[in-house]
Amino acid sequence: MTDSSPDAGFSGQTQSDGQSPTPWRAFLRTETGSAAVLLTAVLAALAWANADLSMYDRFWRTHVGLSFGSRSLSLELRDWVNSGLMAVFFFVVGLEARRERDLGELRDSRRIALPVFVGVSGMLVPVAIYLLINAGDGEIHGWGAAMSTDTAFALGMLALLGKRLPTGLRTFILAVTVVDDFVALGVITFGYSESVAPVALLVALAILGVIVLLRHEGVRRGGWYAVLATAAWVATWESGVDPVVVGLVMGLLTFAYPAARGDLERATGLFRRFREQPTPELERTARIGLATAISPNDRLLRMYHPWSSYVIVPVFALANAGIRISGDELSQAFTSPVTLGIVCAFVAGKPIAVLSAAWLTDHFSHGRLRPPVGWGAVAAGGTIAGAGFTVSLLIATLAFDGEQLENAKIGTLTALLGSFVLTWAVSAVIGLLPKRRRIRALLGTAESIIDLAVPVDPELDKIRGPLEAPVTVVEYGDFDCPYCGRAEPVIRELLADFGDVRYVWRHLPLTDVHPGAMLGAEASEAAHDQGAFWEMHDLLLAREGTLRFAEALRIADDLGLDTERFERHLRRHKGAGRIDDDVDSADLSGVSGTPTFFINGRRHHGAYDIGHLSAAVRTARQQAAIAEPDS
């Protein structure tokens, strides 16, 4: 299957198993795309409720039961959505939290404090505002509906605002909302659960203990975990605790790690054995080998995240967002402390909390825990955090009923609209700033995490461009990789467009999929021995097909090299040590496919056409410029 999108030709990558790990950007694309589906579901629920509210309520109050021998579990359809399907939503949240901890911004333990403090503060301040407005009105028990940001709508707003705000804000918002969801789930579990049945709760905890033991023993059969998680869900429901907590725990227990090159090479070998002898036994072995090369977190996230984003959350919205809207209802709602408390908590409380918490963390850490974006972007992130919906409605259905529930829903939808308008206004103000101040306001001066494990060494690395350039592009490549050949003219254009970029080539010959890869790498090293590395580099990438020894000699002769010296270098494998050093650095940096790019030490995810690479270089150059003291 081919991708017909414009970037398809510049997003491919040779992997030892043919599949690259899903980067954070894929998750963000899925989340922002789901915002449109979620908004459609909200509008459909409103239309349905205003067309026939009694039918809307009657449908979602329909009882659906399951039988387990002599026991049965009968719940309203809305309860199956809110406590059943939403457990899958929180499972995805748990997977993302674990992935961020293992591979993302939070893998540096020092960086955990900032999103945790901002996330918790971004809940406490809105709750305080809600309680202040509702003091003495008897509705303070609904405080939990005024604190949690909706990830899909928040990232959807970022997508609509496009280039007005920096890409790094998405990662910052996502890290904060993961903390937000985690705390919100604790609030649901301990603040809005019925009276707890100790025996059932102990049974649920025992089942979760068995799951932890199976994970410790390395059991990877998903069926076992699915059965045990379902049993834990039923036991938790029977205990009186909202069972969505089971989904989050399961997600947090699922490791994330990059595909190791050795595992991918083993997977390639298993597939080749199956290709030579396609028996059921080898098919099963190859399938297991391919699966084990990818982390369980990657596989489960790829499997469940689309269902969560495009089905579960929209169904939740359809089941809970239906309210009658008329002049009388709105007039009554906007005199209700519940509505006013929720609106003020989200629209005012969230921005105040996010900005204040980020500033206090930066101030008291003496700049060591600085937001990854500028203060203007942090302000926009605060207004975006006011987009509450999913968890807010979930808690509202637990805290309220009747008229107060309707008021809470109107408050949540109003806050969502107000959050978008306020974010647009903040981004518009930032856009009016002078260029240098605007860049500083958007990008900030925080140091980013360096993904490139081995820094560029001008004495050892192959470098094109000025040695003291502010932007360095490192490519791990393979001379037999067709995608590297496709990227090479893009790099040439990039160097021509930007005079202050240096480009570094590092070897990663994928010999399990490209038989001539090592010969190509050694040929380039043999040419380097005669001062002709880049000439050989360009010719090797321009050719097609597997490189043969005789062809390497012919290319050396065409370049006017001393072919006898070149051949001796090849036959004695004199370049193998240098190649091994590059391969080791690739392993340390988590590189398993070609081409893989790093820009100023940060791994570049996404397409590598001239547009995407140029945008990444411009951002890196701007960050390097604002890091310098003003003249």
Alpha-carbon span 567 to 272, nearest angstrom: 32
Give me the pLDDT at residue 342, please: 94
Q: Over the stretch 303-337, which tens digit does the pLDDT of each residue have?
A: 888 888 888 888 988 988 888 888 887 888 888 99
Structure tokens at 552: 């390497």
The whole-angstrom distance between residue 190's C-alpha and the CA centroid of its chain comes to 29
Structure tokens at 221: 């059969």
Q: From the CB of residue 256, how many other CB atoms can be counted at a distance below 10 Å? A: 22
Alpha-carbon span 182 to 177, nearest angstrom: 8
482 phi, psi to nearest 5 deg: -65, -30
Q: What angle do CA 12, 484, 302 make, to 5 degrees?
A: 20
* pLDDT above 80 for 181: no
Question: What is the β-pairing status of strands 596-599 and 471-477?
Answer: antiparallel
Alpha-carbon span 443 to 618, nearest angstrom: 12
Cβ within 8 Å of residue 622, ≥6 positions away:
439, 443
Alpha-carbon span 102 to 170, nearest angstrom: 18
Bigger pLDDT: 213 or 244? 213
Bigger pLDDT: 568 or 3? 568
CA neighbor of 237 nearest in space, from 86, 442, 130: 86
Asked if residue 142 lies in contact with residue 346, where contact means CB atoms within 8 angstroms, the answer is: no
* pLDDT above 90 for 373: no
Mean pLDDT of 180-193: 78
The DSSP symbol for 424 reads H
Give me the pLDDT at residue 4, please: 39
505 by DSSP, 3-state: which?
Answer: strand
Structure tokens at 161: 């605002």
Give me the pLDDT at residue 24, please: 45
Pick from 17-31, 148-162, 385-399, 575-589: least confident: 17-31
Alpha-carbon span 591 to 412, nearest angstrom: 44
The overall longest dimension of the chain from CA atoms, in Å, is 93
Alpha-carbon span 359 to 374, nearest angstrom: 11
Give me the pLDDT at residue 532, please: 94
Whether the upstream peptide bond of residue 351 has omega within 30° of 0, thus cis, is no
Confidence band of 357 (pLDDT split at 50, 70, 90): very high
- Which one of 236-240, 405-409, 606-610, 624-628 scores highest in mean pLDDT? 405-409
Confidence band of 83 (pLDDT split at 50, 70, 90): confident
Give me the pLDDT at residue 576, please: 92
Confidence band of 31 (pLDDT split at 50, 70, 90): low
Q: From the CB of residue 512, how many other CB atoms can be counted at a distance below 10 Å? A: 18
Q: What angle do CA 484, 488, 494 make, to 5 degrees?
A: 135
Pick from 104-108, 186-190, 211-215, 245-249: least confident: 104-108
Looking up tokens 């997600």 gives: 251
Alpha-carbon span 442 to 375, nearest angstrom: 7
Give me the pLDDT at residue 105, please: 64
Alpha-carbon span 256 to 96, nearest angstrom: 9
Give me the pLDDT at residue 385, please: 92
Look at the chain and count its residues: 631
Structure tokens at 441: 């306001």
Confidence band of 552 (pLDDT split at 50, 70, 90): very high
CA neighbor of 441 nearest in space, from 165, 119, 111, 131: 165
Give me the pLDDT at residue 124, please: 94
Question: What is the β-pairing status of strands 501-507 and 471-477?
Answer: parallel
Q: Over the stretch 434-474, which tens digit does the pLDDT of each residue have?
A: 887 888 888 776 666 678 889 999 999 999 999 889 999 99
Q: Sort 114 into a burial class: Cβ within 10 Å, 0-12 / 13-18 / 19+.
A: buried
Alpha-carbon span 369 to 271, nearest angstrom: 46
The DSSP symbol for 549 reads H
pTM: 0.67
Give me the pLDDT at residue 6, please: 41
CA neighbor of 387 nearest in space, from 418, 422, 412, 416: 416
Cβ within 8 Å of residue 36, ≥6 positions away:
156
CA torsion through residues 619, 625, 627, 630, sign: negative
Alpha-carbon span 25 to 602, nearest angstrom: 14
The DSSP symbol for 472 reads E
93 phi, psi to nearest 5 deg: -60, -45
Alpha-carbon span 619 to 431, nearest angstrom: 16
CA neighbor of 521 nearest in space, from 508, 530, 531: 508
Give me the pLDDT at residue 113, please: 83
Q: From the CB of residue 338, how many other CB atoms can be counted at a distance below 10 Å? A: 29
Alpha-carbon span 236 to 244, nearest angstrom: 9
Confidence band of 170 (pLDDT split at 50, 70, 90): confident
Q: Over the stretch 122-140, which tens digit does the pLDDT of each residue have?
A: 999 999 999 999 987 767 8
**Which residues, in sequence order, are bridge partners of residue 63?**
76
Share of the chain above pLDDT 70, in %: 88
* pLDDT above 80 for 502: yes
Asked if residue 32 lies in contact with residue 631, where contact means CB atoms within 8 angstroms, the answer is: no
* pLDDT above 50 for 17: no
Structure tokens at 10: 């510049």
Structure tokens at 287: 């399938």
Average pLDDT, the chain: 83
